[in-house]
Amino acid sequence: MILIVDSGSTKSDWIAVDKNGKQLMEKIRTKGLNPAILPEKKLKKIIKKNKDLKANRAEVTHVFFYGAGCGTEKPTAMLKAVLEEIFENALVEVNEDTMAAVYSTINDPNEAAVVCILGTGSNCSYYDGEKVHQRVDSLGYSIMDDASGNYYGRQLIRDYYFNHMPENVKIAFGSKFNMEADYIKYNLYKQPNPNAYLANFAEFMFLHKDSEYTVNLIKEGIRLFARNMIMQFKEELKDAPVHFAGSIAYFSQNEIKEVAEEMGFRVGNFERRPIEGLVSFHTKNL
């Protein structure tokens, strides 16, 4: 049994397949497994809590894990050790989520492209057809992650409290979420995964795109992301398309295309959930 995992900070999708790519059970979903945020004990608890993973762990021969928080050595090594302990008969590979985005969006294994992730968090890399190159080290959700779910959640909450929302939007937002200050601060400063908590607010934008306010909010975040991340690769952009993975990108396609036209880069493919493309890639390359 081969397990392929696509993990963000909010949720992790697991697919179990055989060597021919045949799916062996229904897709499994667990909470997100971000080793840059969660301690070892919490990672183990999330995995072991799932009955299907626990029941079949001895049958697993390979685990290919792609996740947020796996771009630096220490958290990656910690998560790899956790997976090797649980799936003791498996060969385990842990890669940053960027590689899942690359393999699921490029048109050809040797295609050069700038690949962006806009989900709970955000990231941008250049894939030269063999290797991924990044020019900015991520400092996490509180400082970076422009145009991500947690970025937009933060902006929405700020606009609500600073009275920057149109009145009708503010009423709708306040009726959908608990906007009591103490409740918000408790979730941000006392609970795990504050980035995932913030990202929960982002869906509101896509349910209210009839408002000029929300469309402008989406585009301003994308402009910020493009200036800080995509435009690092000005030379590469002359020949390479820009592909996008993640739910925020998927539901912001029109706004991304408008910003791309403003800033002069070429938009390629959009993939909401990269995991399906990973099945084909790994079963071909075992």
SS3 assignment for 259-278: HHHHHCCCEEEEECCCHHHH
Distance CA 244, CA 254 (A): 12
Judged against a pLDDT cut of 90, whether residue 281 lies above it is answered with no
Distance CA 173, CA 37 (A): 28
Q: What are the structure tokens assigned to 176, written together?
A: 């959908």
For residues 175 and 276, which has the higher predicted lDDT (pLDDT)?
175
Q: What is the DSSP letter of 141?
A: T
- Confidence band of 43 (pLDDT split at 50, 70, 90): very high
Judged against a pLDDT cut of 90, whether residue 41 lies above it is answered with yes
Handedness of CA 259, 252, 139, 164 (dihedral sign): positive
pLDDT at 240: 96
Percentage with pLDDT > 70 across the chain: 100
Judged against a pLDDT cut of 90, whether residue 274 lies above it is answered with no
Please tell me the pTM assigned to this model: 0.79
User: What is the CA angle 219-108-136, rounded to 5?
Assistant: 45
pLDDT per residue as tens digits for the range 143-171: 999 999 999 999 999 999 999 999 999 99
Structural domains in the chain, CATH included, are: 2-100+274-284 (3.30.420.40)
User: Average pLDDT for residues 200-208, to the nearest whole number?
Assistant: 96
Judged against a pLDDT cut of 90, whether residue 142 lies above it is answered with no
User: Average pLDDT for residues 79-106, to the nearest whole number?
Assistant: 93
User: Average pLDDT for residues 9-28, to the nearest whole number?
Assistant: 91
